């Protein structure tokens, strides 16, 4: 079953996971989308479709635990999006790259990319990307031992998610509960689906 587990002191606080079957299906779908985009007739949107599909595949690879493959795909996608002025794709690609780098233990690169994604989300007014980035950055900050900063991110994320009626607000509440519970270092597991 898909979901997140929030255990303070354990690696990858709240990492979203899927079952092996769900990962296989998600990877197959993302690879099929990328293949279709590459094989499509050239046109005005052909390059954009390939780039977007590459970012989606990098996200699926990260969730499947294949962070190195995800980084190898997302890093050039960020460069292409930046070089071609594809702002929306750049913002999402930065988040995907940062998340993959986080789980690949590329801490300094991950933080820089999370911060850039958040800045671009805010300057563009992209509240959806902003709440996703705040949540991912919060998890990263917990993993790097900066729980005070993480709380600030999760609280800001929750405000946006509640304003938007986003179902993932439950996940953010679970993260906050794990961080503000009576015994932060207990082995109590707080799960969210």
What are the residue boundaries of the structural domains of the chain, listed by start? Answer: 3-192
Task: State if pTM tops 0.85.
Answer: yes
30 pLDDT tier (thresholds 50, 70, 90): very high
- Choose between 9 and 41: higher pLDDT: 9
**Bridge partners, 4 (sequence order):** 16, 192
pLDDT of 183: 54
Nearest by Cα to 143 from 3, 5, 10: 10
**Bridge partners, 191 (sequence order):** 5
146 pLDDT tier (thresholds 50, 70, 90): very high
Which string of b and e fits 139-158 if b means at least 16 CB within 10 Å? bbbbbeeebeebbebbebbb
- Choose between 120 and 15: higher pLDDT: 120
Q: By the 8 A CB rule, do 89 and 51 touch?
A: yes
Domain 3-192, CATH class in plain words? mainly alpha
- Choose between 186 and 26: higher pLDDT: 26
């Amino acid at each position: 079953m898909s979901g997140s587990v929030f255990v303070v002191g354990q690696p990858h606080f709240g990492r979203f996971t899927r079952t092996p079957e769900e990962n296989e299906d998600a990877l197959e779908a993302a690879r099929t989308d990328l293949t279709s985009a590459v094989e499509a007739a050239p046109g005005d949107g052909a390059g954009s479709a390939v780039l977007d599909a590459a970012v989606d595949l990098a996200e699926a690879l990260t969730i499947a635990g294949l962070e190195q493959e995800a980084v190898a795909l997302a890093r050039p996608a960020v460069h292409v999006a930046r070089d071609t002025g594809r702002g929306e794709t750049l913002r999402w690609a930065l988040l995907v790259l940062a998340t993959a780098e986080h789980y690949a233990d590329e801490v300094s690169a991950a933080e820089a990319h999370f911060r850039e994604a958040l800045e671009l989300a805010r300057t563009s007014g992209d509240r959806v990307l902003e709440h996703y980035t705040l949540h991912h950055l919060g998890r990263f900050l917990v993993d790097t031992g900066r729980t005070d900063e993480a709380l600030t991110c999760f609280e800001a994320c929750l405000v946006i998610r509640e304003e938007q009626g986003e179902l993932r607000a439950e996940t953010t509440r679970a993260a906050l509960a794990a961080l503000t519970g009576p015994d932060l270092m207990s082995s109590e597991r707080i799960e969210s689906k």
